[in-house]
Amino acid sequence: MCWSCNPYCGNCKPPKERPIICPQCKKVYINITDEPMKCKKCGSVLPKRPPRPIVNCLYSGLICANPCGKYKDPPKDGIIKPCKLNTPPKDPLDK
């Protein structure tokens, strides 16, 4: 159990997107899109974020495209429970 929530942890809910750091000038970008972006300070191309894994959640029994840490362990009582944070993949055949 956590004392306070770290939004990047991802154990009890899906983790927040980590900031992107420019490889040249080290400027930090928090909100960036999926399209290639250039640094506003030095003009170098920013690296892309790695794609989130699409997993079969053992907690809910559903496929999740934005998993939290619960996907690794089935419920302790053995009964599959619905997950209010489940994010289905955009393409159902994409696994």
C-alpha triplet 77, 68, 45: angle, nearest 5°? 170
Residue 8's pLDDT band, with cuts at 50, 70 and 90, is: confident
Instruction: Give residue 54's pLDDT.
Output: 92
Residue 57: exposed, middle, or buried by beta-carbon count in 10 A (0-12, 13-18, 19+)?
buried
Residue 41: exposed, middle, or buried by beta-carbon count in 10 A (0-12, 13-18, 19+)?
exposed
pTM score, two decimals?
0.69
Domain ranges of the chain: 18-49, 51-95
pLDDT tens profile 28-75 = 988 766 667 888 889 888 888 888 889 999 999 999 999 998 899 888
